[in-house]
Amino acid sequence: MKLGNQSSNTMPPTTPPDACVSASPRSDRKRRRTSRLARPLQTTPIPAQLTDGRLLVVTDCSGIESPIQALHGLGVIYTHAAACEQSKSLQKFIVCNYGPHVLYANVFERDDDAFVNLLGEAGRVDVYVNGPPCQSFSQAGRSEGDTSFFDKACATIDKMLPKVFLLENVDGLVGRHTDKLADIITKLNVSRVYNVYAKMLNSAKVGGVPQNRNRIYIVGIAKKLDDGSFEWPHAYPHGGLDCVLDPRDDAYIIVPPPPSQKNSEE
């Protein structure tokens, strides 16, 4: 299934005039609750030149925009149609580095009907990506099983009808909250528009990164476009930490003395 063109030197479709900034969400933690109302950067439809031959991508709970980074790294020609992020510092980071056509501050207060009108002549969303907050399902968090963000994601998908969507969260959805995962998949299947696939993947095994992190991924592909070619990532061959650490030089290793000798010296 091919959704867009690729280019080895693709740049983000819009470049904001301000200098790029780094994200520092911790310093903004106390101010997050004040960022409630949706504040779009644009209220005019997306120009046709930014939709023809490009993937129209929408991200919610956008964070540092890993999906956009991935598309850019793969050389996919895209237009970042919309993003949604509550943290003010991350909003600045997103605007300066990725320039979405419209940026919202609160996914629950966004008018999805109004956004669909911004799609202009394109009238479609190709890819929708959402990684809802994980505290409700994380073993290290509250683990209360609150699915409100997923419920909103399902409603957004039903409204925007993207060709492909990707939802991601912690492996707690597969453990103690398996019933919640089943409910989410059921809601995504209500319209019978998509073939929905779900699988838990380990970042070290399939991503080749030195981090042992399990995540559940839910992929939906419009049935009219699903030709059966979708495959989950295969195991990524890597050599462990030796691939990312500098070579060890035994000449500079300090070997501590045996305990008995250490005590006698003291």
Residue 210 in domain: yes
Residue 187 in domain: yes
What tokens does 91 get?
């909003």
Query: The tokens 């003395």 sit on which residue?
Result: 257
* pLDDT higher at 180 or 217: 217
- The yes-or-no verdict on residue 156 having pLDDT over 80 is yes
Structural domain for 53, as ranges: 25-265
How confident is the model over 202-228, as a mean pLDDT? 86
Backbone angles phi, psi at 51, to 5 degrees: -120, -30
Residue 2 in domain: no
Cβ(86)–Cβ(105) under 8 Å?
A: yes
Q: How far apart are CA 135 and CA 118, in angstroms?
A: 32
Q: Given this model, what pLDDT does residue 230 score?
A: 93
What pTM does this model have?
Answer: 0.71
Query: The tokens 């020609």 sit on which residue?
Result: 77
* pLDDT higher at 237 or 146: 237
Choice among 5-14, 64-73, 109-118, 176-185 with the minimum mean pLDDT = 5-14
How confident is the model over 159-185, as a mean pLDDT? 77
Q: What domain count does the chain have?
A: 1
Residue 14 in domain: no
Which of 16-30, 91-105, 163-177, 194-208 has the highest mean predicted lDDT (pLDDT)?
Answer: 91-105
> Which active-site residues does the annotation give?
134
* pLDDT higher at 74 or 5: 74
